Amino acid sequence: MNDQNKEKNSDCTHMNRCQMYGLFELDDSVEVWKILYCRGTYTRCERYKMAERGLRVLPNLLPNGQTIEV
């Protein structure tokens, strides 16, 4: 199975420790982020890219690269 097919069938390896989820725990929008970025095509997530490069990922960084005020 190539990497692209593997990604389509798996969740992001960082999902269980993603700090962003805490910002949305009372908000259903976190499910939208999970669908768009955490499940399947997670390698396009800016949080994932930074973590994979060993960079510090701020909790308020969204998967699309934008930040939110907390």
What are the structural domain ranges in the chain?
Answer: 3-52
Q: What is the mean pLDDT of residues 22-42?
A: 86
pLDDT of residue 27: 78
Q: Return contacts of 49-54, CB within 8 angstroms, 24+ apart.
A: 51/14
Q: Give me the chain's average pLDDT, please.
A: 85
Q: pTM of the entire structure? A: 0.79
Assess whether pLDDT exceeds 60 at residue 1.
Answer: no
Give the percent of the chain with pLDDT over 90. Answer: 46
| Rounded Cα–Cα distance for residues 24 and 32 (Å) | 11
Amino acid residing at 7: E
Is residue 37 classed exposed, middle or buried when 0-12, 13-18 and 19+ CB atoms within 10 A define those classes?
buried
